[in-house]
Amino acid sequence: MWGQMEFKHYSVLLQECIDNLNIKPDGIYLDGTLGGAGHSSHIAAMLSEKGHLYGTDQDEAAIVAATERLQPYADRVTIIRDNYENAVERLRELGVNGVDGILLDLGVSSYQLDNAERGFTYKEDVPLDMRMDQRQTLTARDIVNDYSETEIFHIIRDFGEDKFAKNIAKHICIERQKAPIETTFQLNDIIKAAIPAKMREKGGHPSKRTYQAIRIALNRELDVLQNSLDGFIDFLNPGGRICVITFHSLEDRITKNNFRKNENPCTCPPDFPVCVCGKKSKGKVITRKPILPSESELAENKRSQSAKLRVFEKSI
């Protein structure tokens, strides 16, 4: 099982995150997507015995790896197995009423991609799974075999932004009538057949967008992000910051629009001389443009190439 494999997750934009969190030794921090604790081990190392780091992750393998990695700082770290959408509620249960910084690294961890059994990869022939939390019963196999053609089309179109979504959904539904689609290579062959040969030559692996789409739908990734950001900003102490690392345009758009709305929530028509809606700014966007990985990071870790970091600071 996953225990034999080291939970590897290259910490994307590590220094940029640390710099932008403005870490105070006595501060309280939340890493909503703990993973292998790459970012968190650096945050914990900067805290005094009065500071504290809370980390949440829904993946059991991540919890095991993070617990081990954060062992030297065990006195100032609390690890919770849960989806980050429940983090504020869980922290309040522990008597925490605000934090000085929040980090979300929304990528699938290298561990999840590299550990073929988890079914996130299209590079090895394994059962279709893609669950980030293995306590969940619904898997990628269920989506592929049980969802209607229209639902599959919408998932691939909206979450994968694949222009062949309609054809891919159609091919999936034709093939699954012959026999259930059980493995990644079966799905790869179906996707390949649905995309014209000359289009397959460019734009990377033909399955990439469909897998991304199924993974996002299965794990409710965009809903969770959309539903969490306002609550996270409210949970920040005055002057606290939230750093969000995204890996595709859909997540980045949600983050950018949310930060902009929290900076300027006024809904009055532009020609009103004074604001009457009464909506007050919660803070300011620190990153007018997202922070991107450096040349040296790109050379070291090609998975960071689509990463973007956005930062919001709560009003004092």
pLDDT at 300: 87
Measured CA angle at 312 (ends 43, 224), to 5 deg: 85
Tell me, what's the pLDDT at 4? 41
Distance in angstroms (rounded) separating the CA atoms of residues 227 and 81: 19
Cβ neighbors of 94 (< 8 A, separation 6 or more) are 54, 78
Element (H, E) at 194: helix 184-194
Contact 128, 182 (CB under 8 A): yes
Residue 2: the pLDDT is 38
Q: Report the pLDDT value the prediction gives residue 198, as an integer from 0 to 100.
A: 82
pLDDT at position 3: 43
The pLDDT value given to residue 120: 86
pLDDT at 302: 81
Question: Which of the residues in the chain have pLDDT under 70?
Answer: 1-10, 110-111, 203
Beta bridge partners of 28: 52
Domains of the chain as residue ranges with CATH: 2-111+221-314 (3.40.50.150), 134-218 (1.10.150.170)
Distance from C-alpha of 44 to C-alpha of 46, rounded to nearest angstrom:
5
Strands 283-285 and 99-105: unpaired
What pLDDT is recorded for position 109? 72
Statement: the pTM of the whole predicted model exceeds 0.85: yes
Amino acid present at 254: I
Per-residue pLDDT, 203: 67
What are the tokens at 22?
């403005």
Does residue 57 sit in helix, strand or coil?
A: strand
The tokens 């996953």 sit on which residue? 2
- Rounded to whole angstroms, how far apart are CA atoms 89 and 133? 19
